[in-house]
Structure 1
Amino acid sequence: MEMHDICEAALMEGSQLVLATAVYVEGHAYRKQGVSMLFTKDGSMIGSLSPGCIETDLALRAEDVRRSGKPQLILYDMRPEDDLSWGENIGCGGLLHILLEPIVGDLKWKLTQMKLYLDQGHSVTIRRKWNAQKQEVHHCIEKSGNSVSTKDDRIEGLYIHTYHPKPRLLIIGAGDDSITLVKLAASTGFRVTVADWREALCTKKRFPNVALLVGFPEEILRAFQVREQDYLLLMSHQFPKERALLEQLQHSSYRYLGILGSRTRTSRLLEGLPPFPHLHTPVGLTIGSEGPEEIAVAIAAELIAVKRNKTAVHDYAKGAYSDADSRNCARGGPKSAHG
């Protein structure tokens, strides 16, 4: 779960929540440094820090934090030499510093401010200074463009982490094949907007909990205001409308542009237009996907790979792309001159 989601949940759930944050991670661990989760008064959890290794113990400690109103810094040493003390089910490894904090007063205000910055598309750096003697945490937050995640060994108890806003994904096309993809993208850290000129398809009933835009291509792009870190996906199956969108996108900057369709169709769609940067077509990783659900998985996997700055390796020699022109839907071979 992204920090954006944690902030939103913390402010919506009400009072008596406890925030757990992996402020320092050394060695192998299931989740990375800076990740957070919430413990509610009724004992339920929002998010996770491990595959279930430490949450039960943390829940008990979170109850102590809730009752006392005092934060706690917990160390879990799960490196191999100490694994016997945890038993065979630990599965995580590594050294974890987990900070448990009641969401009250200054911290609640800081999370409100953090959510505001993230909503506006800004990265946020939070510095936590842990005072073990007083059992207090001092927080400082600021807008930031640099990625920082560290424990400052020069200053005892100082933990620094930078959180980035959830990337925006604009899916143009509200057909049935978009429904599964929207759910996957929203659950894997994207702020999803679904856009279409067909009002009957672009509804909250079909796409709950995501933003909707109804309008023609120029209206959609005017309302969305494409930014450099945005992800765009054309899957309306409406050739003239997608051509109009691409003509409008010629001078825009973005992180990802995916086009659902065979190489032949996409070639016609791009004919006469200048090369588009960051173009993925046919869209999706090559996993032999068939049908809307599998295709959605392939596309979501590609979106995650781009977000994590990972490059998928494709095996051209084994003919993995032989049927891409017929069904379009996973990446089907070498990219065109546009991609």
Structure 2
Amino acid sequence: MKEIKDIIAAYDAACRLQQQTALATVVHVEGSSYRRPGARMLVNETGALTGAISGGCLEGDALKKALLAIHQNKKKIVVYDTTDEDDAKLGIQLGCNGIVSILFEPLVIFDTNENAPIALLRKAVAGRNPSQLICGNALKGSKHFGTTSLAALPSIIQDQLTDSLTKATATEKSDHVIITWQGEEHRFFMQALQPSIQLIIVGAGNDAIPLAQMADLLGWDVVIADGRKTHASPQRFPIANALFIGTPDEVAAQLKPDMRTAVVLMTHNYNYDVAMLATLKSFALPYIGLLGPADKRNRLLHDLEMQGVTFTSQQRTAIYGPTGLDLGAETATEIALSVTAEIMAVMHQTTPNYLREKALPIHAAAI
């Protein structure tokens, strides 16, 4: 979601300067590629780029294609075939050994159409519910639907896409569907989007600052909670989406966690942590991180049991204490990296490992 948020911000800045932009979207990949379908990049008429569609090898040529799309005011699809090992002849030094299809769409300055690409991107990041983005292009010919909504498509196409969209929502996996319309084949890429990870940091000490900063860098929504007004302040946490000050019960009453929410307890106040952990039992959370050694975790859970607060075995699997991956972290910044890495792994349901030891492709099969 961070990439989409950055693209929206760059588009708004360009509009204020009356500068033309185009949106480049990876809509299909065969074989190996640095980025997967759904990767986006905004191109400004000045040559400024926001987001990425590759590891840097495509951007130079994509800039030229995007500027041409702006000049012609026309959507266009460009296919980069990098399966030829002698890719130097393309002039872009790819070396990814895959076929990448990029759709270029010129954007209207201050576009108010609710079905315009930028409006649909805004809608996708606005809430905390799963959403979908549809991007359609002709396999042959020049009639490209581009980034659009289901409602804006012809009814015959809507009928054929509805089931696939429902499936994408249920499985949280993107999909491609090829539909024949008016004698031409069109490929529709339906991207399943999950809301940004929400990180609730309970504890506003100095070691919470790099954790909040790293989460913000990743595009996560950051919430800071503490019982001390002097610590949980906008001056100390300017990037926080929300600041909650009060007792654990008062803080818990203001929280709005969901299945994309992680909570990390790092108050360095044992009694506050105990009370806060007790309130978290009523929420369905995929991740609760406890700063400190395993002995502290055991003591917390034991003391809560003595108070009649017992976590089920399933709830205990969501408690990560000590929080973080074993990266040899020592400093607060290194610990922040360790914690955010573990949260990412949990949210993506992956097992951390060295990529060089992975027998299968890094990404799932290309779509």
TM-score bracket relative to the smaller structure: 0.7 to 0.9
Q: Deviations over 1:81-139 (max 9, x none)?
A: 45343479424331111111122244774532443353221222222232464444252
Q: Which residue is equivalent to 1:301?
A: 341
Q: Deviations over 1:299-326 (max 9, x none)?
A: 1211221122112369xxxxxxxxxxxx
Task: Please give the secondary structure, in 2, of the residue aligned with 1:284.
Answer: coil
Task: Please give the secondary structure, in 1, of the residue aligned with 2:67.
Answer: helix
Q: Which residue is equivalent to 1:125?
A: 132
2:191 is equivalent to residue 151 of structure 1: no
- Residue type matched to 1:245 in 2? M
Following superposition, the deviation at residue 11 of structure 1 comes to: 5.2
Task: Please give the secondary structure, in 1, of the residue aligned with 2:149.
Answer: strand
From the superposition, tell whether residues 221 and 264 of structure 1 become closer, same or farther in structure 2 (CA, over 3 Å). Answer: same
TM (normalized to structure 2)? 0.77
Task: Please give the secondary structure, in 2, of the residue aligned with 1:157.
Answer: strand
From the superposition, tell whether residues 238 and 307 of structure 1 become closer, same or farther in structure 2 (CA, over 3 Å). Answer: same
- Residue type matched to 2:174 in 1? S
User: Contact 1:213 / 1:220 at 8 angstroms: preserved in 2?
Assistant: no
Following superposition, the deviation at residue 203 of structure 1 comes to: 2.6
TM (normalized to structure 1)? 0.83
2:74 is equivalent to residue 70 of structure 1: yes
Task: Please give the secondary structure, in 1, of the residue aligned with 2:222.
Answer: strand
Q: Which residue is equivalent to 2:87?
A: 83
Q: Deviations over 1:149-194 (max 9, x none)?
A: 2332454232222222112111111211112122222222422222
Correspondences of 1:1-339 after superposition (within 5 Å):
2=2, 4-6=4-6, 8-9=8-9, 12-15=12-15, 16-81=20-85, 83-86=87-90, 89-104=93-108, 105=111, 106=113, 109-131=116-138, 133-137=141-145, 139-141=148-150, 145-146=169-170, 147-155=172-180, 156-160=185-189, 161-216=191-246, 217-271=248-302, 272=305, 273-275=309-311, 276-277=315-316, 278-312=318-352
- Residue type matched to 1:60 in 2? K
Q: Deviations over 1:196-237 (max 9, x none)?
A: 222222233322233132322222222222223211111111
Share of identical aligned residues, percent? 28
Superposed CA RMSD: 2.6
Runs (4+) off by over 6 Å = none
Please list every run of 5 or more consecutive structure 1 residues that lacks an aligned counterpart in the other structure.
315-339
- Residue type matched to 2:352 in 1? A
Matched residues, number: 314
User: How far apart are the structure 2 equivalents of 1:134 and 1:57?
Assistant: 20
Task: Please give the secondary structure, in 1, of the residue aligned with 2:341.
Answer: helix
Q: Which residue is equivalent to 2:365?
A: none
User: Contact 1:194 / 1:210 at 8 angstroms: preserved in 2?
Assistant: yes
